[in-house]
Amino acid sequence: MHRSCARSLSMASKLSMRLSKVLSKTLLGLSPLLAVFSVAGTALGETCWLPPVDAPVVDPFRPPACTWCAGNRGLEYGTPSGTIVRAVAAGEVTFSGTVAGERYVVVRHADGRRATYGGLESSSLRTGDAVVAGVSVGITAGHLHFGLRDGDTYVDPAPFLGRLVGRPRLVPDDGTAARPAPPPRLRCG
């Protein structure tokens, strides 16, 4: 092998090792969440995300009759003020700021869809930031609007969201200690 090729491969290898160390440190705090995703698994091509918050939907998606007509272009979650909002999937922040006095963060995912998180009290994310699934997008100011767009078309995000489900198990009734519960699985559909 030519020396310059060997040197380039060596440098690439070192860079790859550094990057994996940085990523592993960054993702270490997310390991329980990421374990859920890896345990759950979905069929290839399916999109199934954990909801951005653990709260009830108080106003479902209602497509508007026209571009300027009334409707709900996403899901409204009833959250207490200060609830942490988590990114449903990895992507890049394409907007972070206020519109009509309300803070929004928009994340473009690898598939081109854009997730909108609105009703935020604060967010440390800026346009151009990379996000990983499960990372904090911000905290709520009392409610959360979660929208999804495919191109310029608003899409109902509900079919893309799963829920964590605990698995049934037997628990001893003779006084012996129960084994720890297995991690919940992400159930979609």
Model pTM above 0.85: no
Answer with the residue of higher pLDDT: 41 or 169.
169
| pLDDT for the residue numbered 35 | 32
Query: Helix, strand or coil for residue 20?
Result: helix
Which homologous superfamily does the CATH classification assign to the domain defined by 51-163? Glucose Permease (Domain IIA) (2.70.70.10)
- Return the domain boundaries, the chain: 3-38, 51-163
For the stretch 36-76, pLDDT in tens is: 333 333 333 468 899 999 999 999 999 888 888 888 999 99
- 22-31 LR contacts (CB < 8 Å, sep 24+): 26/132, 27/132, 30/132, 30/134, 30/135
